[in-house]
Amino acid sequence: MFKLKKTFQLLVLSLLILSLKNINVYAQNSNTHDFIFKIGNEHIKLIKDDNGKVLEEEHIIDLTKEQLIDRLVEVKGYTKEEAISKIDSNKNKSKLQNYLLNSSFIRYREVYKVYHEGPCATQLGGWITENVQGHYGWIESIDSGYFKALSSGNYELKDVSMTKPLLASSDRAVFRASGTIVIETSRSSTSEFSVNNLKMFGFTTAYQESSKYFMRKHVGYVYNYTPFGRG
């Protein structure tokens, strides 16, 4: 009986791991502000303090040779032939990848804290897409409100309009909450952004504790993110 129970537990765990592999981007351990994003083949870990300030960024990637060539051409201005020669002569692929990832390309990716300005149901519409004056990104959806930058200055995303969240059953509480967003943009950190064309989809479950936003799942925030062009 014990072996049967153990086998069942391992089966459930295996299925859970397989399901998590399909998550493109997730933030882990939201209580301690450690966020891990997977963008394509890139893993980006943000270590933040209690005030939301980014203390450290750790980048881990696994690019194919073709992706390395494209990155060298885009970031360093090499010709395709020069990029191929650089890769073939560099025996430490991991070092080259991290060198490229930590180049100026990264400055276009910014992380924000979301402060919710109104009531939310305990079951929320999970994600929305945004159009930031022609620059696209994904935002975690809570409800209409304003957004403050975590890492490079404070500014407000104005003219926010959002579809209504998916409401929970009437016996569930409503509360104030906060979350995070990630956008990719070519604008400077001092710019103000106008937000429009917001679309909600997906699903999450959250609850309130000490006026902070947590998730019931141990992986913390879970949401999709796809990097777009820099305009």
Please write the tens of the pLDDT for every residue from 173-207: 222 223 334 333 333 332 333 332 222 222 222 32
Would you tell me how many other CB atoms lie within 10 Å of the CB of residue 146?
A: 14
Please write the tens of the pLDDT for every residue from 156-165: 333 233 333 3
Closest CA to 157 of 109, 189, 186, 121: 189
Closest CA to 120 of 150, 145, 87: 145
How many helices and strands, by DSSP H and E, does the chain display?
A: 4, 15
Mean pLDDT within 19-30: 34
Mean pLDDT within 37-60: 52
Two tokens, residue 62: 């696994």
Q: Does residue 146 register a pLDDT over 50?
A: no
Q: What is the mean pLDDT of the chain?
A: 41
Closest CA to 147 of 191, 121, 178: 178
For CA atoms 10, 11, 15, 16, give the dihedral sign. Answer: negative
Indicate the domain borders of the chain: 40-102, 108-231
Strand (E) or helix (H) holding 80? helix 80-89
